[in-house]
A and B are shown apart, each in its own frame.
Chain A
Amino acid sequence: EDQVTQSPEALRLQEGESSSLNCSYTVSGLRGLFWYRQDPGKGPEFLFTLYSAGEEKEKERLKATLTKKESFLHITAPKPEDSATYLCAVQEYQAGTALIFGKGTTLSVSS
């Protein structure tokens, strides 16, 4: 059973069309939840870390939120340059330093 599930697998938006990506997780003790952006042929780029339910963080058109079972990455008025794969990962207290990644959501924004 996957511990981190991201949905949808792929999302196509028009420029300016706001939407949300979902990351649901099942871990016994959450140490932190991470969001990364990955462009084709590149390594993941760090976006946010969330530590506790109710926490929110923002960066430009992106806003990440966290509940006890899931996290959302809200994208407001996206632009074509926001097209990428967005990865969610969790770190458990019991698992040491390892990050457990989801499979990602591939976002395509057309003008």
Chain B
Amino acid sequence: GAGVSQSPRYKVAKRGQDVALRCDPISGHVSLFWYQQALGQGPEFLTYFQNEAQLDKSGLPSDRFFAERPEGSVSTLKIQRTQQEDSAVYLCASSSLGGQTEAFFGQGTRLTVV
């Protein structure tokens, strides 16, 4: 596709439910990043992949958060046993380079935990 695609755009989950958020990066992009953005805040780094390797997961807030990119393209962010504090917009970005220069962001998935 022409840009980074994320699905679903909106997700409402009941507390305790597991959710899976999908990111389709720009074709051929080596690097993929996940960020969490709370209302009125800047994005906060969650994790980074280079191809299929998860090179940095220092930003994942707890062991309920898990990300994968098994074939080096599509990535999934999974949140188990969702809690209200998980409510946020989850942003995915991809880059053709090894770093973050000119990373292209998707529109995000807005997760609301009720």
Q: Find B100's partner among A43, A87, A99, A103 (CB 8 Å cutoff).
A: A99
B-contact 0/1 string along A59-76, CB 8 Å cutoff: 000000000000000000
Q: Please tell me the size bucket of the interface on A.
A: 20 to 34
Interface of B is mostly: loop
Return chain B residues, CB-CB under 8 Å to A4.
Answer: 42
B18 within 8 Å of A by Cβ? no
Taken together as a complex, chains A and B put the C-alpha atoms of A102 and B41 apart, in Å, by 8
Return chain B residues, CB-CB under 8 Å to A77.
Answer: none
Asked whether A96 and B58 contact (CB < 8 A) given A43-B108, A44-B43, A101-B44, the answer is: yes
Contact B48 A98 (CB under 8 A): yes
Contact B100 A97 (CB under 8 A): yes
Taken together as a complex, chains A and B put the C-alpha atoms of A97 and B58 apart, in Å, by 10
A22 within 8 Å of B by Cβ? no
Contact A101 B104 (CB under 8 A): no
Contact A49 B101 (CB under 8 A): yes
**How many whole Å from A31's CB to the nearest CB in chain B?**
8
Taken together as a complex, chains A and B put the C-alpha atoms of A101 and B40 apart, in Å, by 12
Return chain B residues, CB-CB under 8 Å to A36.
Answer: 105
Return chain B residues, CB-CB under 8 Å to A99.
Answer: 43, 45, 100
Taken together as a complex, chains A and B put the C-alpha atoms of A98 and B45 apart, in Å, by 6
- Ranked nearest first, the 10 interchain pairs of A and B with the lowest CB-CB distance are A101-B42, A43-B105, A98-B45, A97-B48, A44-B105, A96-B56, A101-B43, A103-B42, A49-B101, A43-B106
Return chain B residues, CB-CB under 8 Å to A100.
Answer: 45
